[in-house]
Amino acid sequence: MKKKLLLFFAALVPFCGFTAEPTIEQTLSIIKPDGVQAHHIGDIVSRFECQGLSVAAIKMVQLSKAQAEEFYSVHQNRPFFKDLVAYMISGPVVVQVLEGPNAVAKNREIMGATDPKKAAPHTIRADFGTDMEKNAVHGSDSLENAQKEIAFFFAKEDIFSSKDK
């Protein structure tokens, strides 16, 4: 009887409009100096768009040492911090706000593992990265960090969200 009731109510769900909508999120993506210098900007942006993420804001910037230190301050006590900062100021980067269903997780899936050698085939890092530092892209690791990282680079009025339509 219990199974029949479950089947009955499950059959009603699509007709009652109770389909679960995926959460529309925003996340930050950075195309790192190696990705910019190798002319992969278009390829990388296209990967995100082809897999369901929209660009809500985008710009090219040259980070100062102070900006890079502040942005990556969470890593300041790690042995790689100075090299990371030096690398991130070695050339321009492209920062973008990506938006879409479960954008944080989707972005991380499209990027692949931090180490390009361990990244799944056809991910950005597998295709364009060379090592742990020069891995083509950075992406927010959580929704909370995404909000902080987006605010670091963009004013609210510079983000054109589909949620505002």
Can you tell me the distance from the alpha carbon of 51 to that of 132, in angstroms, rounded to the nearest whole number? 24
Options 3.40.718.10, 3.30.70.141, 1.10.3720.10, 3.20.20.70; CATH for 22-164 is 3.30.70.141
Q: Three-state DSSP class for 54? A: strand
Cβ atoms of residues 150 and 103 within 8 Å: no
| pLDDT cut 90: percent of the chain above it | 83
Question: 93-139: per-residue pLDDT in tens?
Answer: 999 999 999 999 999 999 999 999 999 999 999 999 999 999 999 99
pLDDT higher than threshold 80 for residue 18: no
Q: Three-state DSSP class for 12? A: helix
DSSP state of 74: G
Euclidean distance between the first and the last CA atom of the chain, given in angstroms as a whole number = 46
Cβ atoms of residues 72 and 149 within 8 Å: no
Can you tell me the distance from the alpha carbon of 3 to that of 165, in angstroms, rounded to the nearest whole number? 42
Strands 24-31 and 137-139, sheet pairing? antiparallel
pLDDT value, residue 23:
86
Active site residues: 138
Mean confidence (pLDDT) of the chain: 91
pLDDT value, residue 5:
45
Mean pLDDT of 14-23: 62
